[in-house]
Structure formats: C-alpha cells, structure tokens
Structure 1
C-alpha cells in the first residue's frame, strides 16, 4: 500500500542522548580541591607556636570543621546536580583520608591522642580501601549507614581533640573517640564480610559463564 503525499514519513527511533561528562571545574570538584588545600593549612595551624596554644588550636579546629563540612556538601552536590566525574571519584576519598589522617597523626605527635588509636583508625581506612580494589572486578561495596556514622563520630571526636578542652569536656571527647574506635572496627569487619561474599559470588558467576 502506497502512502499519499500528505502521509507522514516513517520515522526511526532516535537513540537517547548521552549526557556530556561534567567539566572538571564544577562546584563539587572545587570544594574537593579546596578541602585538599586545607590540609597543609590545618597542619600548620595545629603545630603553630609549639602545638599547644589554645588560640592556634581553635584556628586549627575551624579549618578542620570547614573541611568536614565541605565533605558533606561536595558529595551531595555531585549526586544531585549530576556533577560526578572521574576526578571527583578519586580526589574525594583522598581528601577525606588526608584531613582525617593529618588530624590523627598530628594529635599523636603532640601527645594528645594515643598512637594505638591513630594506628587502628588508619589501618582500617587503608585496609578497606585495598579491600574495595580487591573486589572491584566483581562488585562495588556500597557505603553503609554504619560507615557514615563512623565518619561522623570520627570527625566530631578528632575535632574535640583539636580543641584544648578540660574538665568534663575532656572526658566527653575521650568517650566520643571510644565510640568512634568501636564503630571503626565494627564497620571494618562488616566490610570484610561483604567483600568476601561479593568476591565469592562474582567468581561463581564467572564460572557459570554469566
């Protein structure tokens, strides 16, 4: 059957347009870069005038708090505005671990935080990062609620140790750090269990040819 001159021509479905990759200089990445730049500033303020001056420690706390706040905002902006980039995936966790590691190591050098606490937290963070690479071929280990709560308590505890606190507040920061350590170890073990399970499932799928 032939179509008349006024009949619409057959159309082919057009493939969905692939959104372009966000540029490097977006607000989420700028916040991540800013957090990275805050690390040496924070360290300089923490050790200023011998490292025990309450005034300089307050400035160091302010730099640490800003870094923690930008950590919340850059991730939220990247997800909500479609600004996730390869740079952000790499730089964001590096910035997180850099500011937290600087705080823990700096406080231990100054004698304010036991080295075993720093060692436990940093060993867990490094171990989980390596664990993610171990299973990345098969699956991505999602961030759990416990992991997010761990990050929050670590940030609060380290921030309290950065400030020069006495009396009940000093006791309170020790309790907060103890909670952070428990969550650090607990969530770390949970990630290990997930990683082993995901790797086994991935290997089984490969053997079945899926």
Structure 2
C-alpha cells in the first residue's frame, strides 16, 4: 500500500478517536457553553489532522504518480465518513440544523451510489471533480469552526462556522447535481 493510501486509511482510523472524544461523559454541557469544552477542542484538532491527511494524500498521489483506484474510491469515502460523523454529532448537540445534515448525508450517499454504478457500467472509478473538492473543503472548514464555536472569530461576533456551513450546503447541492449531470449516460445505458 502506497503512502497516499495509508494516509486515507489513517483518516478512517481517526474517526473512532473523534467519536470517543465527543462521546465522553459531560459533553451535553457543551450545548450551553459559549466556548468549546476541552474535548471539543481535542475533537477539532483530530478532525483537522484528518482533514490535513486528505490534502496530503491527494498532493502526494498526484505529484509522485501514485493515483490508484483504491485511492480514487476510498479517499472521497473517507471524507464522507468523517464529515457525516462530525455533522451528526453537531446536529445531536443542536449546533447544526437537522435539514442541513440531511441534505449533506443524502447527497453523499447518492454520489457514492453513482460512483458504484459508474464502476459497474464502465469499469472506471469516478474521481472527485472540482465542485466536489470545493464542497469537501468548505464542509471541513465549517465543521472545524463549529466545533471551536467560531474561535477566534467569536470575539468579533462573526459566525464563521455558520457562514461556511451554508456555503458548504450550496456546493454540496451544486456538486451533487454536477456529478449526476456529468454521468447521466450511466442512467441512459441502464434504461
């Protein structure tokens, strides 16, 4: 297994660590605190490390010509697992509206299904397109700031996490439509 794929697997392994930090007793108190609890800060750090591996694995894979079908499939899957886990916890802690999480989860599952169809029909793995990369970037930054309760922007009264979240929702919808439009032939061939 090459280094980019190891980084992808490492990102997946960080998800249970992230969950443990957020599941620690007393986290319900985070709802009412203006500042993030220590576990939320640690969870944000783990999340940031996981996001950094996403950036690094892609850079290394392209620069050293280590792009593999494993990486094309599992890199975006690892991102989806990480983002969906983080959003589900934010929704449970009433930090993100349920409809936002629902839209993002439905899009992520639909695109994963589309990727599976493309592999079955064409034998090729659908790589991430630019709208999907912007979606992932905006989701990850939104989540990071939401777990930090907008620090350091909170002192200025600027809800950076919320602003980035709605930018992420826009790109989530846009990139989902783009993936389906670009691969509409999969459905035409199957009819």
- TM normalised by structure 2 equals 0.81
Q: Which residue of 1 aligns with 2:135?
A: 150
Query: 165, 172, 179: which one pairs with 2:167?
Result: 179
Task: Give the Å deviation of 1:187.
Answer: 1.4
Q: Which residue of 2 aligns with 1:8?
A: none
Structure 1 pair 91/147, CA: closer, same or farther in 2 (3 Å)? Answer: closer
Larger radius of gyration, structure 1 or 2? 1
Task: Give the Å deviation of 1:97.
Answer: 1.5
Tell me, yes or no, if the aligned pair for 1:28 and 1:83 is still in contact at 8 Å.
Answer: yes
Tell me, yes or no, if the aligned pair for 1:64 and 1:159 is still in contact at 8 Å.
Answer: yes
In the aligned structure 2, how far is the partner of 1:145 from the partner of 1:69? 18
Deviation readout 1:50-84 (Å, 9 max, x if unpaired) = 22252221111110001001011112212322334
In the aligned structure 2, how far is the partner of 1:169 from the partner of 1:55? 21
Which is richer in helix?
A: 2
In the aligned structure 2, how far is the partner of 1:170 from the partner of 1:47? 28
Q: Is 1:57 paired with 2:43?
A: no
Tell me, yes or no, if the aligned pair for 1:135 and 1:199 is still in contact at 8 Å.
Answer: no
Structure 1 pair 170/106, CA: closer, same or farther in 2 (3 Å)? Answer: farther
Task: Give the Å deviation of 1:167.
Answer: 5.8
Specify every segment of 5 or more residues in structure 2 that has no aligned partner in the other structure, as ranges: 31-35
Structure 1 pair 153/197, CA: closer, same or farther in 2 (3 Å)? Answer: same
The number of equivalent residue pairs is 178
After the TM superposition, which parts of structure 1 deviate over 6 Å for at least 4 consecutive aligned residues?
none
Structure 1 pair 174/190, CA: closer, same or farther in 2 (3 Å)? Answer: same
Q: Is 1:32 paired with 2:17?
A: no
Q: How do 1:44-83 residues align onto structure 2 when only pairs under 5 Å count?
A: 44-51=20-27, 52=30, 54-83=37-66
In the aligned structure 2, how far is the partner of 1:159 from the partner of 1:91? 22
Q: Which residue of 2 aligns with 1:195?
A: 183
Structure 1 pair 94/148, CA: closer, same or farther in 2 (3 Å)? Answer: closer
Task: Give the Å deviation of 1:113.
Answer: 1.1
Structure 1 pair 169/185, CA: closer, same or farther in 2 (3 Å)? Answer: farther
Tell me, yes or no, if the aligned pair for 1:57 and 1:164 is still in contact at 8 Å.
Answer: no
Structure 1 pair 130/157, CA: closer, same or farther in 2 (3 Å)? Answer: same
Any idea what SS the aligned residue of 1:112 has? Answer: coil
In the aligned structure 1, how far is the partner of 2:10 from the partner of 2:139? 21
- TM normalised by structure 1 equals 0.75
